[in-house]
């Protein structure tokens, strides 16, 4: 997820992912190829990449592996964009937005206008 820097440049902060046990070799290869192409294009542009582990950014928002909690937090944090997170299968978009928010707040050190609610505050 590329994040705009203050001087107009971009700072990509993708999630550092890995293969899972029993995941098909062909699907891992397709993903790695696509990720490698994206990384190559970014490197060719002379832009450095800041990788973020899923556990690291989810811990910052007090999230677990529960996709529904991520979706609920994204709805609470981005109320104007709630239409993008209405279906249960929209958890990927919700997590991408939360990853971008984490990157903006930590990698780029951009302060949020409002306090980010935790997953526990959203679910309760």
**Choice between 19 and 44, residue whose per-residue pLDDT is larger:** 44
pLDDT of residue 73 exceeding 90, the answer is yes
Task: Measure the CA–CA gap between 72 and 66, rounded to whole angstroms.
Answer: 10
Overall number of domains in the chain: 1
Confidence of residue 75 (pLDDT cuts 50, 70, 90): very high
- pTM across the whole model: 0.68
Task: Measure the CA–CA gap between 72 and 116, rounded to whole angstroms.
Answer: 12
For residue 67, how many other CB atoms are within 10 A of its CB? Answer: 16
**What range does the domain containing 66 cover?**
2-123
Give the whole-number percent of the chain exceeding pLDDT 70. Answer: 77
Q: What is the pLDDT of residues 41-51, one digit of tens each?
A: 888 888 888 88
Place of tokens 């832009």: 47
């Amino acid at each position: 997820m590329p994040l705009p820097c203050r001087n107009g440049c971009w700072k990509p902060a993708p999630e550092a992912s890995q293969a899972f046990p029993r995941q098909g070799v062909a699907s891992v290869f397709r993903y790695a190829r696509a990720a490698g192409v994206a990384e190559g294009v970014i490197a060719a542009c002379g832009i450095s990449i800041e990788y973020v582990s899923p556990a690291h950014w989810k811990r910052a928002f007090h999230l677990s592996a529960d996709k529904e909690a991520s979706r609920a937090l994204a709805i609470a944090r981005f109320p104007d964009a709630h239409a993008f997170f209405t279906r249960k299968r929209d958890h990927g978009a919700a997590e991408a937005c939360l990853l971008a928010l984490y990157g903006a707040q930590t990698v780029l050190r951009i302060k949020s206008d409002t306090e980010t609610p935790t997953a526990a505050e959203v679910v309760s």
